[in-house]
Structure 1
Amino acid sequence: MSQWFVTGTDTDVGKTRVAAALLYLARKRGLSTAALKPVAAGCEQTAVGLRNDDAVRLQAQCQPPLAYQVVNPVALEPAIAPHIAADQAGVSLSLAKLVSAARALLARRADFSLIEGAGGWRVPLNERETLAELAMALELPVILVVGVRLGCLNHALLTAEAVERDGLRLAGWVANLVDPQSLCIEENIATLKGRLAAPCLGTVPYLPATEAPDLAPYLDLDSLLSV
């Protein structure tokens, strides 16, 4: 079994798209797959309840299929920080509840499982706990999605430092180009390759199409599975 926690240098850096593409690659190899978005803000009300686009993307790559509530146990409507959205919705967010949901998913023993965080590494859950503590409680290796744009070097290096300081292993990272107007893209990626003590799992260019099959060719699943 391969089990990973996916985090990012910030919000909107492509965590879900990269996670879905990795699940897609694993599924195409005949591996069973499972994914968890433990808490998602920015959900829309539908006929079957609140649904989050990111969680739906992950759900689509789970084989055997999983119910939406398994993939996303805490769905919040406002597209704001999860602890603020939960407070506004009268929902209690706690590390213990998320750990329970995560362990239930991992107990399914899929060949390839991903748990995706929200925003960056230190996103608060409540007044005391952060989402980083979920990865720590599960002792999962971490995949870091770097949104390649101005400021990404500092964000990536600080996040990697925090992950390692929290006692977890940075298993790999993905350079995802989110701003096509960024300068010195190749130089920035080269700098990260020289400073991050983990393999680069791929460089994803700025793409008009962002479904899992579109990103998959730019990702190296072999390097991840061999770590």
Structure 2
Amino acid sequence: AREAGVRLDVPALVDAVRPILARQADFTLVEGAGGWRVPLAGTASLSDLPIVLGLPVILVVGVRLGCINHALLSAEAIQRDGLRLAGWVANLVDAQTSRLEENLATLTERLPAPCLGRVPRLDRADAASVALHLDLAALGF
């Protein structure tokens, strides 16, 4: 955003998201990119958006070396910020990850929310292709 000369601040993001949430769809996904503590303008973080809106969180875990630590720390931060971790998704960014099944089992055991799916590396990473690898039933849909 900085390189593009765009200022990302929480009030502007909230103003953009609230009308969408007001439609009261059965399911609305507000995607954040880069992680829970990604800096925005000033001292704000991307995490401030779901905090202000009181949204449950789905954590996307980039499965590779270090993912267990990263996922557990992110889950702790989400809960400490007063939000509910509704589920998590395994994004298999490195199909050659050593001990893949063991890592996924550990994440399933330790994260305080259900796994909603495993998304492999896709030729087309569009919403429809990703959706084929997700099961949102654990979210109540």
Q: What's 1:205 paired with? A: 120
Q: What's 1:175 paired with? A: 90
TM-score relative to the length of structure 2: 0.91
Q: Which amino acid aligns with 1:200?
A: C
CA RMSD of aligned residues (A): 1.6
CA shift, 1:149, in A, is 0.7
Rounded Cα–Cα distance in structure 1 between residues aligned with 2:124 and 2:33: 22
Q: Which amino acid aligns with 1:104?
A: P
Rounded Cα–Cα distance in structure 1 between residues aligned with 2:103 and 2:130: 20
Once the two structures are superposed, residues 151-181 of structure 1 have per-residue CA deviations (whole angstroms, 9 ceiling, x without a partner) of: 1111101110110000000000011111122
Listed as ranges, the matches of 1:88-99 within 5 Å are 89=5, 91-99=6-14
1:136 aligns with 2:74: no
Rounded Cα–Cα distance in structure 1 between residues aligned with 2:118 and 2:88: 9
TM-score relative to the length of structure 1: 0.58
CA shift, 1:104, in A, is 1.4
CA shift, 1:218, in A, is 2.3
Unaligned runs of 5+ in 1: 1-81
Q: What's 1:121 paired with? A: 36
Rounded Cα–Cα distance in structure 2 between residues aligned with 1:92 and 1:209: 30
CA shift, 1:96, in A, is 1.1
Greater mean alpha carbon deviation, residues 153-162 or residues 205-214: 205-214
> Identity, % of aligned pairs?
60
Q: What's 2:129 paired with? A: 214
> SS at 1:112's partner residue?
coil
Q: What's 1:188 paired with? A: 103
CA shift, 1:217, in A, is 3.2
